[in-house]
Structure 1
Amino acid sequence: MASLARKRVALWGWGREGRAAYHAIRARLPQQPLALFCSETESAGAAALNDPLLSVEREATGGALSAFDVVIKSPGISPYKPEAVFAAERGTRFIGGTALWFAEHADDGTMARTFCVTGTKGKSTTTALLARLLRAAGLRTALAGNIGLPLLELIDESADAWAIELSSYQTRDVADSGARLRIAVVTNIHPEHLDWHGSERRYVDDKLALLTEAKPQIAVLNAEDPVLAALALPDSEIHWYGHARGWHLRGDALHRGDAFVMDTSSLPLPGRHNRGNLCAVLTALEAFGLDAVSLAPHAASFQPLPNRLQPLGERDGIRYVNDSISTTPHATLAALALYAHRQVAVLVGGHDRGLPWEEFADAMHERAPHAIVTLGHGVAGQNGDRIHALLSPMAAEGRFALSQARDLEDALAQARAALPDGGVVLLSPGAPSFGLYRDYVARGRHFAELAGFDPDSISGIAGMGIA
């Protein structure tokens, strides 16, 4: 943080991450002039600070950005945007708040107690479960990062262990910081966020930068993921899970090598993929030097995260499940697999970022739900109509009922009508919420409200922060 002094510094974005960066910098550098690029609606909040050393700019053009030595951008802003590329070519350095936190703690011993978790799916549950079991081991543990608490809000805090979730927007921040963390966990790699990264190849490279460029001492990897299984990491010690010699599942039975440890069928971890996340956590704990076998039963007290295959309850014989965080077709397939034994009407579709749905369509030949309702009919920027067109030939053969809805209220009505004898209405969109909702949380809350449940009662993540 001290290296920012006497540099021309700007913030880009005024969401929670942007505000955390501002307060962290101001606490350490009270006389540092700062510029802020943000939207018109955000500028009022910034102006209310009455900070004479903060200037608010409206338009983040390439020319405007290139006037600064360092731009601290919010995670949702892609460094591949033309204006960012223009400024970077002229010497402006773009970093995230995550990089600042890691750089601040690179040499104070914190890295020896830090776990970073990423992956296309499962990273939030894995990080929260990791924090739960670290606390069960008696360690004062921080749960932070992409899961909902910016690291810079904890810049002056200390902990025995840090469980940090990183999105693909943040993984390069660790390498940018120059810090070398102890343990990195990667759950899986599937195409996602192509609009931010620009291509599938760049998404994979950015995601894997946590391993290939940050070079953690220990890498905990999923042996069942083909991308991860093909990795060579000469600078890291690899610990595999999902492998017969390590922590893995045999049906519902959790094993450490050949040794049976426990039955997982009653754990609050819906779906085999979530129980695979438990294998990742136990592998990481073991690599850290803890007795993972004795800690495994504490998973029974884990509180599942909202919007992730979250059962809301039943109304008139219909069970409602909120999987709003599902933003890839692969995630939707995993959700359907969990309810393969039930009559299901699934709601799919959202912001179109170019992901292919052909694999999903192929899967419908063998394991289609009772009904599929596509969202966003006729709405610009939504992929529901594209999904509907892809699935129509199979629906015409009578494999499943298929319908289109403009919005979530309409979709829910159609899903209920498709289940006259009861069943499961599953919101698992396989796409982001942008265009119709602020984020997946708002989408999940609206689904709960439309289904007749209190959205406030289903939205909190337990254990955030240090405990």
Structure 2
Amino acid sequence: MNLHEKTIAVLGLGESGRAAAQLLLEKGARVIIRDIQLNDRIERLAARLRPLGAQVEIQERAFTPCRLDLGVLSPGIDPKVPLVAQLRRDRVPVIGEIELAWRFSPCPVIAITGTNGKSTTTELVAAVLTAGGKRTEACGNIGKPFSDVVRESEDLDAITLEASSFQLEAIETFAPRIAVFLNFAPDHLDRYSGMDEYFAAKLRIFENQAADDFAVVNAALDLPPLRARTTTIHAYGREADYTFRGGWLCRGDERILEQSRTRLHGPHNAENQLAALAVADIYGISRSAACEALCAYQALPHRCEVVRVLDGVTWINDSKATNLHSMESALPGMEPPCVLIAGGKDKGFDYAAIRKLIARHVADAVLIGEAQSAMVAAWGQHTRCHRVSSLAEAVATARRLARPGQSVLLSPGCSSYDMFKNFEERGAVFRALVHDLT
């Protein structure tokens, strides 16, 4: 892909947009960065890029007219917004940041998608490959942009990429050597018109694979025929190539590793581990190296993270649970029934769908944010619901309600954007509030 002296617009100045702009500048392109928002983070990123030769246009009423050869879309920018629609009307090709990075990738890509578990599985795959002597780096939606890894890492054997539906929307030729599809559940209904559109975005991970590529998929998914060689995983009783039986991670009849030896627990985490084992087998990683990596892996923050035990009550931070499927994964481990802190930005979920789970595993639900009214309506006849105005009030209320032997579980089932910058900030605030309890 020759970009020398091409004029390219990068739409959205987040970390992915910044990384794409730097890659484009290094390839000799003239880069215009456009964003309709203005905040301190965008200003800092703009200040980094202007000295490199990028033209930055932020919050412009009318962007500078010019002939563009290409548009590169950051994942946080909805393809339906006017900023993108204008380029399409002008017949300017538009691709996403992972498509751009893919075109310059020096090595094969292992791409991992799904509604939940993507970040954990991306790190697990990177860990087992590294343990087996393969050079890789985890990147993408997990944190470091794909474009940065492409710019900095020419000596890798593989790139391990977390790919969200937002990133997959704008691919054209992106063809991972291994595509992993972990699970699918309602989410992002504030962006998509419905579940079919969301599922179609996820399916694009397989779109350009060839017959000699690999697909690792959950056996519960209803997928169309795939060209790639397919391996199945499942941890909830279905037949699959890799399964979770009697507490063991298995391949066929082979018992590979007892999950209790690892620091991850539960069937939802078993599916992440099984996916990593499947990738390890494709790469020929020894059982001993893969198992050592799985046993050593420490879970990411904000994912069923035990913060503290105070007066016999265990406080658990599961702020990463930004949809109901994540909450459903956490609740079955709550015995006796817990005090649940839930709520946040209402993304249109059917909260009544998990009312039986709430009835079994939640003694009290302390509810925050936009979604609290919908949650009360769905759960009010199945558990005691308490509406509060802030996370601080929620922690104080949970402290009053919880009894020794119970857990207080922050598992919001919603995104954080009505009250916090992101789920990390929400989890960090919860952690600090819990540590301040006396």
Fold-level match, TM-score > 0.5? Answer: yes
2:337 touches 2:361 (CA, 8 Å); kept in 1? no
- CA drift of 1:53 comes to 4.4
**Per-residue deviation, residues 220-270 of structure 1 (Å, max 9, x unmatched):** 0111x2xx2x22334211111225452211131222211222321231112
User: How many residues end up aligned between the 2 structures?
Assistant: 429
Q: Once the 2 structures are TM-superposed, how far is the Cα of residue 317 of structure 1 from its aligned partner?
A: 2.2
Instruction: Write out aligned runs for 1:315-330 (5 A).
Output: 315-330=310-325
The correspondence of residues 129-168 of structure 1 with structure 2, limited to 5 A, is: 129-156=124-151, 157=153, 158-168=155-165
Residues 175 and 206, structure 2, Cα contact 8 Å, conserved in 1: no
Q: Is the 8 A contact 1:66 1:92 kept in 2?
A: no
2:414 alignment counterpart: 431
Secondary structure of the equivalent of 1:170? helix
Aligned pairs for 1:277-288 (under 5 A) are 277-288=272-283
Aligned positions of 1:186-205 closer than 5 A: 186-205=181-200
Equivalent residue, structure 1, for 2:401: 418
C-alpha deviation, 1:315, in angstroms: 2.2
Q: Which runs of 5+ in 2 are unaligned?
A: none
In the alignment, the residues of structure 2 paired with residue 92 and residue 200 of structure 1 have an alpha-carbon distance, to the nearest angstrom, of: 29
Shift in Å at residue 20 of structure 1? Answer: 1.3
* Residues 171-210 of structure 1 mapped to structure 2, 5 A cutoff: 171-173=168-170, 175-176=171-172, 178-210=173-205
> Residues 234 and 22 (structure 1 numbering): CA distance in 2 closer, same or farther, change over 3 Å?
closer
Question: Are 2:10 and 1:11 aligned?
Answer: yes
Quick one: distance in 2 between partners of 1:99 and 1:179? 6
- In structure 1, what is the equivalent of residue 167 of structure 2? 170
Whether the 8 Å CA contact 2:176–2:205 is kept in 1: the answer is no
Matched, 1:370 2:363: yes
Q: Normalization by structure 1: what TM-score?
A: 0.85
1:231 aligns with 2:223: yes
Distance 2:279 2:76 in 1: 28
Unaligned runs of 5+ in 1: 377-381, 395-399, 455-467
The answer as to whether partners of 2:128 and 2:289 remain within 8 angstroms in 1 is no
| Residues 1:421 and 1:336: Cα distance change in structure 2 (over 3 Å) | same
One of 447, 454, 458 as aligned partner of 2:430? 447
What whole-Å deviation, never above 9, does each CA across 1:142-176 have from its counterpart, x for those lacking one?
Answer: 11111111111122313122211111111245x42
1:438 is displaced (CA, Å) by 0.8
Report whether the alignment pairs 1:54 with 2:54. yes
- Percent sequence identity is 28
TM-score of the superposed pair, with normalisation by structure 2: 0.90
With over 3 angstroms needed to count, the CA separation of the structure-2 counterparts of 1:449 and 1:236, relative to structure 1, is same
Give how far 1:39 is off: 2.2
| 1:376-395 correspondence runs (5 A) | 376=369, 382-394=370-382
| 1:344 paired residue number | 338
Give, in angstroms, the shift of residue 179 of structure 1.
Answer: 4.0
**SS of corresponding position for 2:206:** helix
Aligned equivalents of 1:8 and 1:310: distance in 2?
46
Asked if 1:222 is matched to 2:218, the reply is yes
SS in 1 for 2:362: coil
| 1:321 shift after superposition | 0.9
1:261 counterpart letter in structure 2: I
Structure-2 separation of matches of 1:292 and 1:343: 38
Aligned residue identity for 1:347: I
Do the aligned partners of residues 127 and 256 (structure 1) sit closer, same or farther apart at CA in structure 2, a change above 3 Å counting?
same
Aligned to 1:126: 121
AA matched with 2:7:
R
Deviations 1:47-71 (A, max 9, x none): 4654384333234789879964422
Correspondences of 1:352-367 after superposition (within 5 Å): 352-365=346-359, 367=360
2:256 counterpart residue number: 261
After superposition, the C-alpha distances for 1:271-298 in whole angstroms (9 at most, x for unaligned) are: 2210121111111221233334662243
CA RMSD of aligned residues (A): 2.5
How far apart, CA to CA, are the structure 1 residues paired with 2:82 and 2:25? 29
Do 2:319 and 2:423's aligned partners in 1 also have CA atoms closer than 8 Å? yes
Contact 2:304 2:318 in 1 (8 A): yes
- Say whether the 8 Å CA contact 1:80–1:196 is kept in structure 2: no
Determine whether 1:79 maps to 2:79.
yes
Q: What SS does the corresponding residue of 1:72 show, helix, strand or coil?
A: strand
Partners of 1:452 and 1:357 lie apart in 2 by 30
